[in-house]
Amino acid sequence: MNKHQHTYLFRFVSHFIKFFLLALFGLTIAYVMSVVFDRSDWANTLFPIVFDWMRRLGIILLCLIAATMVVESLR
C-alpha cells in the first residue's frame, strides 16, 4: 500500500485516534496510581475537568471520523 494513497484528512484522523487512545490509557493509569497511593481526593477533584475535555475531544473525533468516511468514499 502506497503511503500517499490516503488523504491528509485520513492520516490526521488516524494520528488523532492514536494519541486520543494513548491519552485515555495514560489518564487511566494515573487515576489508578492516585487511588493506590491514596491521593484519590486530588484525582476526584480533577476528574470532572478532565472528563469534560475528553468528552469534547471524543465528539470532535467522531465528527472527524464521519467526515473522513464521506471524503474517502467519494474518492
Give pLDDT tens digits for 40-54: 887 788 888 989 999
At 7 the three-state DSSP class reads coil
The answer to whether the beta carbons of residues 7 and 75 sit under 8 Å apart is: yes
pLDDT-derived band at 6 (thresholds 50, 70, 90) equals confident
**Surface-to-core class of residue 16, CB atoms within 10 Å of its CB (0-12 exposed, 13-18 middle, 19+ buried):** middle
More confident position, 70 or 41: 70
Question: Which set of grid coordinates corresponds to residue 67?
Answer: 467526515
Q: What is the pLDDT of residues 9-40, one digit of tens each?
A: 888 999 999 999 999 999 999 889 988 988 88
